[in-house]
Structure 1
C-alpha cells in the first residue's frame, strides 16, 4: 500500500510551487536551446523553463538527457520575436522622422552611421601628463547631423539617440563608454524620448533631452515625415578640435551615406552662415 506523506506528516506537506515569471534570461536560454542540440545546463533557468512547460526532457537509447522546446515554448519564441519587430519598427520610424525634422530645419542629417571611437579611461593615480588608458568603442548613433555652412567652425555636429522603450533607455544609460564615444564625435548629444519613455531626470546632465510628441503608435503612417520635437533640456555644446571641424574618418563615413531628405522636397533648405554658433534647439 502506498503511503501518503502529506497525510502522515501534515507539517511536511508540499504545496505546488508558483509558476515562474518568464524573463529576458529565460527567453535567451529558450532561443539557445531552440538553435542547439538541446544539451541541458542543469541550472535554475532550465528548471524554471521546464516548470513553465516551455521545455521538456527527452532521453535517448543511451540514457542521455536532452531538452526540447515544447509547442508552448515555440509560441513564446514567436511572441517575443513579434514584440521585438514591433519595437524595432517604431524605433526605426522615429529615427527617420527625427532626421526629416532636422533636415526641414536646415541641418544635414544621416542615419546608420557606424564608427569606432577611442574612449579613454583616466586613472585617479596617474600624473597629469600621463597618457590615459583607453579602448576602441563602436559608435552607431541613430541620427548624426551638421549645420549647412561653409565655415568648418560652425558645423556643430550633433548626435540624436532615439528611445521608444523605457527598458532600452535604462540599458543604454548604463553604457558610459558608448555615451562617451558619442560625445567625442559630436559637439552635443541629445536623447529623443517617445512619450512615456522617460523624463529629464533620467538623463545625465551632459546630454540634452527632447520629447517626441505623438511619435509612438502612428509611426506606420508618418515614417519619414517631420515630427513635433520639444526640447526639455538643451545639451551642453563643445567645439570640435579638428581644423576641418570633423575628424577625417567621420567625413569619409558621411561620404558613404545618403543624407536624409524631406518627403515632399528632395532639396534641403539652405541657411545663411552665422557669425557665431547658436544654441542647439532641435
Structure 2
C-alpha cells in the first residue's frame, strides 16, 4: 500500500499508516518530521498540551477510521496474495511437479568481492517446485514469486540480491495479479529479462514470457534437506485415482 489513500488533498501511504499505528500504541511523543506534518495537516493527528506544558499527539476519530480502512485493504491484499499462491502451487501439481509453499532455502549470491566472491543467504519463495523424478539432474527447480500489488512488485524488483538468490535455486518466475480494476499490475517488459512472467487473466494463469532455461546438475544438499523436512502441497489429482 503505497499512496493508496488521499485525505484532505494529501497523498498518504504505508509509512503514514505505520506511524499512525505507532502513535496510537504509544504515549504520543512528537517526532516533528514530514510524516507527522502530513498526518496533522490531514486531521488524522491532533496536538494535545498537558497542564505542565508538554505536547503530545493523539490519533483523532478520523485517524482511527483511516487506520481501519488501511487494515481492511491490507487484509484483502493478503487474502488475494494467499489465493494466488495457492493457485500457482496447484498448477504446478497438475503439471506433475512437487510443490512447496513458504520454504526457507539457503542460496548463494555474488558479493563483488574477489576474496569472498559468494555469500550464503536465505531465500523464501512463495512457491518452490521440482519435477516428480528420481533422477537428480532432471529435477528442474522453479521459483515462483507472487505479487498482487504494484507497489510491492516495484519494491521487490529493486532487491537484486533477492532475485539472484532465486536464480541460484533454479528458474525464477514472477506471477502478477490484478488491481481493483482487473488490470494486471505490470507489463512483462518491466520484469528483468532473466525471469519468466505469468499473469492472472480471467482467473486463469497465462504465460506472458517464458523464463530462460537454466541447466544444473541437481540441488544442493541443504535444499534437499529442507524439502525432506517440509510437506509438499497435496496433489488434487490423487483423490481422483480411486482404487480399481
The residue aligned with 1:208 is 196
In structure 1, stretches of 5+ residues that fail to align are 1-17, 216-227, 269-282
Match of 1:235 among 189, 208, 211: 211
CA distance in 1: counterparts of 2:121 and 2:17, whole angstroms: 28
Moved over 4 A (4+): none
- Tell me if 1:131 matches 2:119: no
Alignment partners' CA distance in 2, 1:153 and 1:32: 50
Aligned partner of residue 21 in structure 1, secondary structure: strand
Q: Deviations over 1:224-271 (max 9, x none)?
A: xxxx33222111122335xxx211221121122221124463489xxx
Give the equivalent residue in structure 2 for 1:258: 231
CA distance in 2, matches of 1:132, 1:53: 52
1:1-282 alignment, distance < 5 Å = 19-123=9-113, 126=114, 130-132=115-117, 134=119, 136-186=120-170, 188-195=171-178, 196-215=184-203, 228-241=204-217, 245-263=218-236, 265-266=238-239
Offset at 1:170? 1.0
- Corresponding residue pairs, total: 229
Is the Cα contact below 8 Å between 1:137 and 1:177 reproduced in 2? no
Write the deviation string for residues 71-111 of structure 1: whole angstroms up to 9, x where unpaired.
11111111111101100101101110111011011011110
State the structure with bigger RCO (CA 8 A, min sep 6), 1 or 2.
Answer: 1
Which has a greater percent of strand?
2
Distance in 2 (CA, whole Å) between partners of 1:65 and 1:40 is 8
SS of the equivalent of 1:41 reads coil
Residues 94 and 237 in structure 2, CA contact (< 8 A), matched pair in contact too: no
- The verdict on how the C-alpha distance between 1:138 and 1:74 changes in structure 2, with shifts beyond 3 A counting, is farther
Distance 1:81 1:109 in 2: 31
TM-score by length of 2: 0.87
SS at match of 1:37: coil
RMSD: 2.0
Q: Rg: which structure is higher?
A: 1
